[in-house]
Each structure stands twice: as C-alpha cells, then as structure tokens.
Amino acid sequence: MDAHSSREGVKVMSAAAIKRRLGALGNREDAKVLQWFFKTGPGEYGEGDVFAGVRVPVLRKLSGEFAGADESTLHALLESMVHEERLLALLILVRQFEKGNEAGRSRIYTFYLAHTNRINNWDLVDLSAPRVVGGYLVNRPRRLLYRLVKSTSLWERRIAVLATFAFIRQGDFADSLALAERLLGDREDLIHKAVGWMLREVGKRDLAVLETFLKPRCKTMPRTMLRYAIEKFPEPLRLAYLRAS
C-alpha cells in the first residue's frame, strides 16, 4: 500500500507515492510554459529547475490530502529536482505550521530554515516564508532576518523580506523598512521587486509611513523597487515620484 499509515483520517504516503501522483497529474504543455515563466534557461535565476506542469490550485488541494507527511517524506520532496514536488512540500509545511501547537511550529520553523537551499525560486519563497518564518517570528526576536538579509543567497534574502509580510499584516512595519534600507543597493531585480512589494503593502495600511521612507530615498533607490512601492498611489502622486527619481 502507498499509504503507510493514517493520522486522524489524513493519509500519510511515501515520497515515492506522492511523486508518482504528481507525475500523473502533470501536463507537458503547462510544463513548457512554466519552464519559460520561471526563467530556467542557462544563466537565468531558475537555471536547471524542472517542471511537471501541475498548477498551484491542484498542489494546494494535494497539500491537504498529504497533510500528514512526516519530515523524512518532506525532506525527500524538497531534495527533488522537480519544482512542484518542492512546492508541495512547502505547502504541506505551511498547512502543518498553521494547524500545529507551539512545539510543532518550532520544529517546522527549524526544519524550514535547514532547507533554504531547496527553497530556490520566487514562488517557493513567496508561498511559504510569510506563513512559516514570519508567522513564527511575529512575537519573537527577529535577529535571524538581519542575518538572512546579508546572505549571498538571493533566496535567503528574499525569505527575509517576505517574512515581514506577517508583521505588516499586524500593522508592524519597522522590520520591513529596516530590511528595505539594507537592500537599497542589492543588485538582484527579484529583491527589488520583493522589497517594493512589501513597501507597497506598508503604504496600503499607512501611506504617511511609506512616504516618510520614500521621500529621501526615491532618487537613488532601484527604479523597479520604487515602481512596485508606488503602484497603488493616486496617479498624480505616482507620477510625481517617478519624475523625482
């Protein structure tokens, strides 16, 4: 049997069985589109990533079906070359984290950080870091984020930025702004977009706070970062910032 045990009615399946299930759901044409969309060519940020062609809504549904997966199964999925297998593992971790107790959440947080080298494309980060890393750190010290933001890994820096979405949702902007300040000189466009996105989320909740951050920096910050940050501004104000930059 593929399902080797059951926890509270949730199937617990081996990594091999889950991989076979995903493979059966894959679509070759979708895989081609995803390979292009996620920049998997030589020298691109997703170089070498392999897609099966399974869309996120399907993976979300499967994350509920396989919510009982243990750490060894999730480790095997995260080590896979197939993008959707890694993403499914992360969606399962998010589900487990949000339903877990404090001890369980601590284990998941530690497990997540031990696998950041496999959280290596922007969707993998964006669909997991705010919930797991941000969710864990909401009421805890956040020194980890300031270490990650200095990492040579683009993805660890993006994890640091996206984790702050959890704080922004609670009206806590300080770390988002502090990390944005540290990343103004970052060379990666995917970091500019991530920072700009978080700044935009701050502005949606408190425009004055965002403007206080932007006014002395808009002339020198990366253009992409600024564009993302002011995307929801009233048109005259948005154009004024673009002219000023």
pLDDT at position 2, please?
39
pLDDT at position 245, please?
81
- Whether 4 shows a pLDDT value over 80: the answer reads no
pLDDT one-digit tens code per residue, 132-165: 999 999 999 999 999 999 999 999 999 999 999 9
pLDDT at position 95, please?
97
Give the CA distances from residue 118 to residues 62, 86, 208, 223, in Å, rounded to whole numbers and listed in that order: 20, 7, 38, 29
Q: Which domains does the chain have, with CATH numbers?
A: 1-127 (no CATH), 138-245 (1.25.40)
- Whether 9 shows a pLDDT value over 80: the answer reads no
pLDDT one-digit tens code per residue, 158-174: 999 999 999 999 999 99
> Average pLDDT of 81-86?
97
pLDDT at position 12, please?
65
pLDDT at position 67, please?
94
Nearest Cα neighbor of 148 from 116, 177, 105, 123 is: 116
- Whether 8 shows a pLDDT value over 70: the answer reads no
Give the CA distances from residue 80 to residues 70, 85, 115, 157, 229, in Å, rounded to whole numbers and listed in that order: 16, 6, 12, 22, 35
Number of CB atoms found within 10 A of residue 225's CB: 26
- Whether 177 shows a pLDDT value over 70: the answer reads yes
pLDDT at position 11, please?
58
Radius of gyration of the chain (CA): 19
Q: How far apart are alpha carbons 33 and 44 in whole angstroms?
A: 15
> Average pLDDT of 3-26?
74
Q: What is the mean pLDDT of the chain?
A: 94
